[in-house]
Amino acid sequence: MVHVIVYKSATLAPAEVSRLRTLLAAAGIECDLELDIEELNEFLDGDFEEDKEGDEASEIVLIVLLTPECEADDRLPQAAGKVARAGGRVIGVWPRHGG
């Protein structure tokens, strides 16, 4: 099972999250979760290592829309490190500026 997670920073407008999800969907990528930092850490601390239907390990793809808040929050690099150590991928996306 692949979990595609969009990280929601507190300053990220809902329209930006929606736009990112639309772009990902157009590329054939379905996001199953939108999580803020607390929710992300809860998810990562949970049991996502084993897929309930078999022995295949779950995979995580964390997509982060890069904002100044990302640099200011030391919890995000820690969460990204957890994803990487679990064999997942972290993808940073530059936001669109100017509407």
pLDDT at 90: 95
Query: Is a pLDDT exceeding 60 seen at residue 99?
Result: no
pLDDT in tens, 62-97: 999 888 888 888 899 999 999 998 889 999 988 766
Residue 98 in any domain: the answer is: no
- Please state the pTM of the whole predicted model: 0.80
- Residue 63 domain boundaries: 2-93
pLDDT in tens, 26-67: 988 888 899 999 999 888 888 565 443 455 567 889 999 888
Q: How many domains does the chain have?
A: 1
What does the DSSP 8-state code read for residue 11?
Answer: T
Domain of 64, CATH number, reads 3.40.50
Query: Is a pLDDT exceeding 50 seen at residue 14?
Result: yes
